[in-house]
């Protein structure tokens, strides 16, 4: 099977980024969401981001126009049934993902590859709830998708070699680099990154440093492009907490215990950039630390 038609489930930050890069690489994309407003917003964001790439000389204007024409949207999940490859990029909750797969599977072609953009949930467990565990794997893009070069490919225990190779070929066509990860909680990137962010929150919680001093220390002392608390706000504090809970539950090690302050911020609805408040307040002209 030649992969030409891509189904993307979810029109949020990750979903619209995936649709963006797939269309630029020449794939026909059908993106779905439960909200028409989310789909309209995603198409606007894709257009803006591609225009920015054109302005920087990274993409030709003709290529942008052709790519935008390759993206279609639908509110009906079942419309993705004729896709060659489906990438689920819905919210990071296992019950939501399972419900989506349950609704979609009866409409899929037998040869369709089913993947999840999950950043931490067990691929083996997700695959076991489908009719095609051998054609199921993790396809984890980094955020923001058009900019970041890495894609983690995660095989479940049943994933066959052809599915892995087909997905690796897609990554190569995107001009990105694939890293093969085993199916353990949070895989590679988040297994290393999230405990660092969690430790930064503990450092704030225990009064070792302020938001500003912690981020400044890691940017200037470790040459990180973004401080860990600033990065947490960019990712979303709810996502950070969800991944830490997966690590804590899946590995049963107290070193992965989410910081109580991270939990408190999420309970307050201060989730970072997407809610205008997190470790920084984004409601003014310049982000200001909230602690």
pLDDT, residue 38, reads: 97
Q: Are strands 177-181 and 150-155 parallel, antiparallel or unpaired?
A: parallel
Of the residues 88, 92, 152, 230, only one is catalytic, namely 152
Are 199 and 165 members of one domain?
A: no
**Which pLDDT belongs to residue 60?**
96
Catalytic residue (choose from 49, 119, 120, 198):
119
Please tell me whether residues 141 and 121 are part of one structural domain: yes
> Is position 217 annotated as part of the catalytic site?
no
* 66-76 burial code (b ≥16 CB/10 A, e <16): ebbebbebeee
CA distance 113 to 110: 9
Question: Which CATH number is 262's domain given?
Answer: 1.10.1040.10
- In this prediction, residue 1 carries a pLDDT of 73
Give catalytic status of residue 180 as yes or no: no
How many domains does the chain fold into? Answer: 2
Task: Could you list the beta-strand ranges (E) of 10-101.
Answer: 28-32, 71-74, 85-88
Sheet with 136-141, edge to edge strand ranges: 71-74, 28-32, 5-9, 85-88, 113-116, 136-141, 150-155, 177-181
224 occurs within a structural domain? yes
140 is catalytic: yes
Q: What whole-number distance in Å separates Cα of residue 25 and Cα of residue 63? A: 9
Which of 116, 190, 198, 230 is flagged as catalytic?
Answer: 190
Q: What is the pLDDT of residue 91?
A: 87
pLDDT along the chain (291 residues), means of 10: 94 96 98 97 97 96 97 97 97 93 97 95 96 98 95 97 98 97 94 97 98 98 97 95 94 97 98 97 96 92
Same domain (yes/no): 150, 209: no
Q: Does 95 share its domain with 221?
A: no
Domain end: 163, 181, 199, which one?
181
Q: Tell me, what's the pLDDT at 120?
A: 87
**Of residues 20, 88, 140, 230, which has the active-site annotation?**
140
Q: Which of 133, 161, 181 is the last residue of a domain?
A: 181
- The reply to whether 83 belongs to the active site is no
Structure tokens at 281: 């307040």
What distances in angstroms separate CA 219 from CA 194, 248, 290, one per listed residue? 17, 27, 19
């Amino acid at each position: 099977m030649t992969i030409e038609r891509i189904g993307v489930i979810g029109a949020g930050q990750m979903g619209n980024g995936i649709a963006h890069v797939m269309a630029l690489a020449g794939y026909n994309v059908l993106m779905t969401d439960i909200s028409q407003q989310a789909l309209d917003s995603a198409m606007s964001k894709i257009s803006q981001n591609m225009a920015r790439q054109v302005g920087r000389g990274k993409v030709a204007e003709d290529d942008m126009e052709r790519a935008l024409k390759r993206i279609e949207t639908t509110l009906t999940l079942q419309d993705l049934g004729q896709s060659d490859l489906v990438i689920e990029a819905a919210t990071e909750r296992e019950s939501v993902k399972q419900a989506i797969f349950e609704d979609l599977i009866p409409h899929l072609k037998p040869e369709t590859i089913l993947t999840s953009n999950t950043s931490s949930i067990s691929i083996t467990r997700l695959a076991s709830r489908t009719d095609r565990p051998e054609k199921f794997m993790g396809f984890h893009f980094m955020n923001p998708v058009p900019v970041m070069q890495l894609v983690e490919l995660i095989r479940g225990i049943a994933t066959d070699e052809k599915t892995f190779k087909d997905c690796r070929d897609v990554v190569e066509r995107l001009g990105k680099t694939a890293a093969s990860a085993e199916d353990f909680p949070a895989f590679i990137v988040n297994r290393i990154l999230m405990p660092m962010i969690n430790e930064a929150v503990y450092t704030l919680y225990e009064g070792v440093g302020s938001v500003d001093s912690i981020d400044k220390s890691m940017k200037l002392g470790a040459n990180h492009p973004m401080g860990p608390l600033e990065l947490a706000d960019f990712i979303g504090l709810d996502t950070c907490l969800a991944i830490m809970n997966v690590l804590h539950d899946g590995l049963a090690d107290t070193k992965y215990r989410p910081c109580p302050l991270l939990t408190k911020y999420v309970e307050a609805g201060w989730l970072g950039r997407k809610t205008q408040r997190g470790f920084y307040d984004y409601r003014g002209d310049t982000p200001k630390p909230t602690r």
